[in-house]
Amino acid sequence: MNTLESMFDWLLATTLRASVLALAILALQLLLRRWLPPQWRHSLWMPLLLVLALPVLPAVPFGLFPTKAEANATAAPVAPASALEFGTAAAAEPPVAATPRTNLPGVNPLAVLWLSGTVAVLAIGLASYRRNMRRVIKGAVRVDDSLRISLTAAAREVGLRRKPLVIVSTNVDSPAVTGLVRPSLLLPAGFPAGFNEAEARMILLHEFTHLKRLDLPVNWLTCVFQAMHWFNPILWFAFARMRADRESACDAQVLSLNHDDRRSDYGHALLKLQSATPQLGLNLGFVGIFERNAELKTRIREISAHRKAHPAWRAGGVAMIGTLTIFGATKAEEPEKKEAPAVPRVIVNQPPVNPGTAYIMAKLNKIVIPLINFEDASLEEAIDFVRLRSKELDTAEKDPAKKGVNFVIRKPRPGVAGTPDPGAAKLSLELKNATMLKVLSEIAGKTGTRFKIDEFAVTFVPADEQDNFVVGPLPAPPKFEGKAAEAGSKIIIPIVDFEDTSLKEAVDFLNLRARELSKGEPVFPVVLDPKADGATRIKELRLRNVPLVVALKYVAESTKTVITANDSEIRITKP
């Protein structure tokens, strides 16, 4: 659904921009209606079609529409490092009395409704077009030789290089042109019966002028836009006005073909066509000389008052179209930010690059979560959700055991007064299509925590616990060259899930799992030194698919112990 939601977001921004532009065009036409020639009145609608067609708008210093802030801004490049720390000074939000809930990403019903409506409008229009064309072809009759001569003369006068296919049919009520790849001229059977020679000539000139002006492809494009913006009444009204202005512009161009005054013949031809019944239905793709009875009075009045446009209007019209284009088809450049955003704050250490850290950092930047919607959720609930989604969305990783990202939540040290418990904070958060790095930064900001990325996990701790949190890579266990450490690095523990667990219980669990997962390889015991307090509690530690020595490293950090190793054992002892 990412593509559909992206299209829907673009469409909403476009329909708002186009609506404002359409109102500006209508206001400009109303203001200048007494002086604005019909050709330029219709040309003012071209910037609207440009705005509706542009997928990306150029940014200029003088743009009038502000740049929309992206919800999922790309993270700034950071220097490679063994570990990264992210934090915030923001206080945790006060708890809200509500049931904790975490929403899974779903389908945007409005996007589905929009797409369904667009398909329905297009389907109805195309069905109507096909039905009418079948009726026209079914009632087709032979074209008279005299009519062919008149068609050739009219096409030559308009300057049409390629004559359209001519269909004379008993099922055509009023002259029209249609088609896209191969335009067709539709004429009623018996035409030009009922019209004198001059009136018939004006009708043919009008239809051929539509082809000369490329009104047919523009009409098809307008129909597609109208279907896409079926929910916007402002644009439907704008498209109706654009069609009316198109007919007036075509009338003016026909009357300007030569110096003879043919206004009377043209007006009489329109009045005789008034009795013709327009075709019913949503007639996609038809452009005719007589489309709406409501516009007849206006067209007759403009024909009777027709004068060739003053040459000065060329400069004025170009200036107005250029202004409208800049108004609607550009956006303002984003102002330069004087201060860097406070969240996330990134502290980068510069020891040699650690491939494991870079591997996890790449995942955090590449994995995009479609929807985050937390309401009164705890830090543990939020992290569990992110952990689950990271595994589901990690499509680049082919090894199932390595999918996703490990997380650790470090509780406050026992006996440290005034240290806030990150697990007690509640957060509400809503994001769309956000990278994991963005999501984690927002979670840290709303829970008063900070987090670090090292080679096997992302660790969250209270923001003010500086002394039990290492910035940079965790120190490797000393003297890990022995056989015990080498064997421990080959044993992969699928799940480490400790919550309020004693150090002794953790050591017993890891020894048991190491024996079960050794696969016939030598197993060296993990020994708890009598000097170490086996009752020390591990508040919370959750890891997935980590070597035994790495799991021991996190256990040692949680209990303020150290690890040593030799050729016979791995020992946990006091520092």
What is the pLDDT, as a whole number, of residue 83?
44
* Rg over CA atoms, the chain: 37
Residue 513, H or E segment: helix 503-516
Q: For 151-202, write each residue's pLDDT tens digit.
A: 888 888 888 888 888 999 998 888 888 887 788 899 988 888 878 888 888 8
The total of other beta-carbon atoms located within 10 Å of residue 571's CB is: 19
pLDDT of residue 105: 46
Q: What separation in angstroms does the CA of 50 have from each of 63, 314, 321?
A: 16, 20, 11
- Find how far residue 79's CA is from the centre of its chain: 30
Give the relative orientation of helices 145-158 and 197-212 as an angle to the nearest 10 degrees.
50
Report whether 471 contacts 461 (CB < 8 A): no
Structure tokens at 485: 């450490």
**Rounded CA separation 370/430 (Å):** 11
Q: What is the pLDDT of residue 56?
A: 60
User: What whole-number distance in Å separates Cα of residue 235 and Cα of residue 15?
Assistant: 8
Q: Which of 44, 51, 49 is nearest to 27 (CA)?
A: 44
| pTM for the whole structure | 0.52
In single-letter form, the type of residue at position 490 comes to K
Q: Quick one: which of 164, 139, 141 has its CA closest to 151?
A: 164
Kindly write down the DSSP assignment for every residue of 188-220, as one continuous string.
ETTTTTTS-HHHHHHHHHHHHHHHHTTHHHHHH
Predicted confidence (pLDDT) per residue in 228-260, tens digit: 999 999 999 999 889 888 888 888 888 888 767
Residue with tokens 């015991």, as numbered in its chain = 525
Q: What are the beta bridge partners of residue 288? A: 176
As a whole number of Å, the end-to-end CA separation of the chain is: 53
* Parts of the chain with a pLDDT under 70: 1-2, 56-107, 259, 261, 275-297, 304-317, 327-356, 411-424, 455, 463-481
For 271, residues 6+ apart whose C-beta sits below 8 A from its C-beta are: 296, 300
Task: Read off the tokens for 280.
Answer: 């019913």
Residue 344: cis peptide before it, omega within 30 degrees of 0:
yes
Q: How far apart are CA 419 and CA 417, in angstroms?
A: 6
- Preceding omega of 192 cis (within 30 degrees of 0): yes
In single-letter form, the type of residue at position 404 comes to G
Residue 280, phi then psi, degrees to nearest 5: -90, 165
Which candidate, 495, 384, 398, 498, places its Cα nearest to that of 439?
384
Cα separation, 328 vs 20, whole angstroms: 8
In this structure, what token pair is assigned to residue 81? 């490092």
Phi, psi of 316 (to 5 degrees): -65, -40
